[in-house]
Chains A and B, each alone.
Chain A
Amino acid sequence: MTALATLAPEFASVPDSTLPGPLQRYRDNAAKAIAGMAMPTRRTENWKYSSRHLQLDTALAAPLAATGTISTDIGDAYRIVIRNGVIAADESRLPAIDGIEIVRFADLDEVNAQKIVEQLDGALDTAALQFAPLNSARLQDGLLVRLASNARLDKPLFVLCQTLAEHSGSAHPRILVDAGSHSELTLVEQHESQGDAPALVNAVTELNLAAGAQVTYVRLSLDGTTVNHIGATGVRLAANARFDSHCVGFGGPLRRHDLQIRLQEAGAECRLNGVTVTLGEQHYDNHTVIEHVAPHCNSEETYRCIAAGKSHAIFNGRILIHRDAQKSVAEMSNKNLLLSSEAEIDTKPELEIYADDVKCAHGATIGQLDAESLFYLVSRGIGRTEAGTLLSMAFINELVQQIPVESVKDAIEQRLIDFIETTFQEV
């Protein structure tokens, strides 16, 4: 047996930054912890289908230097830019609302920094997130969004995570959301990139929802074709809190998103929507975990994937109902469209249930476009590319239309159409 590969030591080198003391110590401890970390292999259950895409060459260990910008139109919304893992404060457009704080970690005083350190990783199940500690070890800056009780952000907050890949390197953006009781927030986490050098983005976002808080989370994975993306989002919900997510991802050399939800107190609810499309040699791996810890919580999850070309799409959805989580209702649906004979889709909808008075169901399908529908469209004079695109869009559009931020919805819809169209032109 050959020795297991370990993470290149260069990744554990501490970046330059001006973080306050407690956060520096947090980062240094994380750096020590990841030294010699074993890389996941095919036998690592949660990397079973993706480990071979994990090629973290030492070149990717270098920090990315921030030069230039990506201009993104976000419409009428608030904005903050995290470029190559560092917040570009002068590009922010922030609200002035009582009870809403949007600050960089670098600007925190020692006391507040200590509080943040105590909160960090609290919404993550780090045992299942091999690369979250790497994000901590490479912490250069971070974004704190804090809403006091009853505070309400009137417009969506866009966090633009921009990667400028002129040369190889990695960025490790970090976001922490602290939503007070009955506060309301719409957060759009948009990942985008420029440049052709291979790069790695390893993003970690944590959201803590206090009682009755309502958070809508839109996560767009739009990085370019040379960017490897590993991302994790951890969410903890207190009583009667509600979390809605809309995760849209386009494939890349390696795309991985872990979404972990913990319904910690009675009455918490979540609804997770996801759309993934891959083509060419692309790869996308979605892992979601919904943990029902307390009674009377509801969860609903709908993920749709389309894979074309020689691409590979993976969905692994796990619902875990704890012993005390009676009266849980959990529904999961994963439908997949396989458009080519060289593409692959793997799905694993899991249920793990330790309470008896629950209603849980999951369904998964993999199939192709309905030949009859396709023929019907073509027989009416519609070209094959257009017909294929139309039907593929029909497969995912129901979810796209639920994205609550109008500008995002329209842009994403168009982007999906363009993306899918190319797959039919290739054929």
Chain B
Amino acid sequence: MADGNKPVKELIKREYEHGFVTEIEADTFEPGLNEDVIRRLSAIKNEPEFMLEWRLKAYRKWLEMTEPEWAHVHFPKIDYNSISYYSAPKSKADAPKSLDEVDPELLRTYEKLGIPLHERAKLAGVAVDAVFDSVSVTTTFKEQLTEAGVIFCPISEAVHKHPELIKKYLGTVVPTGDNYFAALNSAVFSDGSFVYIPEGVRCPLELSTYFRINAANTGQFERTLIIADKGSYVSYLEGCTAPMRDENQLHAAVVELVALDDAQIKYSTVQNWYPGDENGKGGIYNFVTKRGACIGRNSKISWTQVETGSAITWKYPSCVLRGENSVGEFYSVALTNNMQQADTGTKMIHLGKNTRSTIISKGISAGRSNNSYRGLVRFGPNAKGARNFTQCDSLLIGDQCGAHTFPYIESKNPSAIVEHEATTSKVSDEQLFLCRQRGIDPEQAVSMIVNGFCKEVFKELPMEFAVEATKLLEVSLEGSVG
């Protein structure tokens, strides 16, 4: 009879399905980084002087900084001069004004990804901004959003059309010198999405950005800024994919969220960058800084992430809870398989009175991967009555992987209460046997158990993406049970 461990041992062999390359004419910078490259980048984007200054300042800071080494990940030193810092599909002199002007090859790319940009065939009720390598190619539903007063456009466009908002908020949540990768991003970011929800407006659509790295040897450095003015609400989702390539590619994004009084931002991510092959060759280095500032009273920022891709993930979506009664949430599912490494978690910085935060983190490790939760919960001296609840659970599939938990908890306020719990478990042979005895395939059983493990997080995702996330887990786990 079969070896008792066999079911939970393999589970890992489905091809990455977004791994195709799009043949498209592109303008791509020669690899290398210096002030001239930044000037050229800024010039191509026709940026105002203040942006160039801002970039150069960030670049000079970056030069003085060193790559962080504290994360539980290992990779060869990155040669920042072998990376190209700009690649854009060749198009007419100006950006396309309507979908008819978008290169049909690009449209086909997005259709292959399951993100039709034609408004006729759009995702129901979701406005999409598609970012291809370094530039935003199109944004859908512009009219409907404009009517509501919502600004949803490429950040390169916002620099021109809404410089006052950019000046006021860009870099206020993640300062240019915040960390090594954020400084690099500030210097060279090429595009990304900008969202402004005016006072009292509930954004009529889910907003969504799909990021796609296509060109080889190119880094992607997008920058997203979302501002929810008083009493407004927005739900935003990002998805990411990349072709299969043998070399590693760098993705160093920055996301800044600002919530004013009574505003709410729900930010969801389904991250499925190419994870590399089963021997750890290739894949994206996903070194991302995401932070939200609840500066207003009663404001709320909620991060939900489903991370299944990337060779290495280094990502800590955080909340700075400054406003009284503000709320921060972090719901995360991080799955690593094969040789993937993830070091991800959150920071909840409680500064204001009665601020509350919840952290639910579910880590799943399979193959020879390593999956770490790293978190910080800090109560400042003024965080009277603040509360945090943290639950981080790890699930191991197979005996060659690792699951780690590194939570930092700091309290300077006696009336603040923090509760932290963590558990580690595996998909047990008994559970598998029960499922199989009821006629269920081992693969299906594991996927069902893993989905059950992640349920608390999936219920936070917008409906259609919850379905996508569930599927994604299934695909990522396929082959890990034999």
Contact = CB atoms under 8 A, between A and B. Distances in A.
A141 B175 CA distance: 55
A339 B411 CA distance: 11
9 contacts: A347-B420, A349-B405, A350-B407, A351-B403, A356-B426, A361-B424, A366-B417, A367-B416, A367-B417
Given A341-B381, A341-B414, A367-B417, A353 B424 contact: yes
B414 A339 contact: yes
A355 B423 contact: no
Contact of A353 (B403, B409, B411): B403
Interface in B393-450: 394, 396-426
A341 B382 CA distance: 9
Interface of B: 8, 70, 379, 381, 394, 396-426
Interface string A352-389: 11111111111111111000000000000000000000
Given A338-B413, A367-B417, A358 B406 contact: no
Nearest to A363: B421
A356 B399 contact: yes
A421 interface: no
B417 A365 contact: yes
Contacts of B397: 356
Interface residues of A, number: 35
Interface centre among A339, A340, A349, A353 (most CB of B within 10 A): A353
Contacts of A358: 396, 424, 426
A281 to B, nearest CB: 15
A326 B424 CA distance: 13
A363 B391 CA distance: 9
State the 3 A-B residue pairs at the shortest beta-carbon distance, nearest first: A356-B396, A351-B405, A360-B424
A31 interface: no
Given A345-B411, A350-B407, A361 B423 contact: yes
Contacts of A356: 8, 396-399, 401, 426
Contact of A348 (B409, B413, B421): B409
Contacts of B412: 341, 343-344
A352 B402 contact: yes
A248 B381 CA distance: 28
A346 B407 contact: no
A323 interface: yes
A45 B374 CA distance: 14
B424 to A, nearest CB: 4
Given A326-B399, A346-B409, A355-B399, A367 B418 contact: yes
Contact of A346 (B405, B408, B426): B408
A27 to B, nearest CB: 34
A47 B79 CA distance: 32
Contacts of B401: 354, 356
Contacts of A323: 399-400
A366 B418 contact: yes
B411 A346 contact: yes
Interface of A: 45, 323, 326, 336, 338-368
Interface centre among B399, B411, B415 (most CB of A within 10 A): B411
A372 to B, nearest CB: 14
B417 A364 contact: no
A155 to B, nearest CB: 41
A283 B282 CA distance: 48
A353 B394 contact: yes
Interface centre among A344, A351, A357, A359 (most CB of B within 10 A): A351
Nearest to A339: B414
A348 B70 CA distance: 15
Nearest to B426: A356
Contacts of B410: 344-346
B422 A351 contact: yes
Contact of B404 (A352, A363, A366, A367): A352
Nearest to B375: A348
Contacts of A364: 407, 409, 418-420
Nearest to B373: A351
Contacts of B398: 356
Contacts of B381: 341-342
B8 to A, nearest CB: 8
Contact of B422 (A336, A342, A349, A368): A349
A349 B394 contact: no
Nearest to A315: B409
Contact of A365 (B399, B414, B418): B418
A355 B426 CA distance: 10
B399 A357 contact: yes
B420 A363 contact: yes
A90 to B, nearest CB: 49
Contacts of A343: 412, 414
A350 B399 contact: no
A321 to B, nearest CB: 8
A364 B388 CA distance: 11
Contacts of A366: 379, 409, 411, 416-418
A359 B411 contact: no
Given A353-B394, A359-B424, 8 more contacts: A339-B414, A353-B402, A353-B424, A356-B399, A361-B421, A365-B419, A367-B416, A368-B414
B337 to A, nearest CB: 14
Contacts of B404: 350-353
Given A344-B412, A352-B402, A359 B394 contact: no
Contacts of A368: 414-415, 417
Contacts of A339: 414
B477 to A, nearest CB: 15
Contacts of B406: 348, 350
B420 A338 contact: no
Contacts of B415: 341, 368
A226 to B, nearest CB: 26
Nearest to B381: A341
Nearest to B9: A356
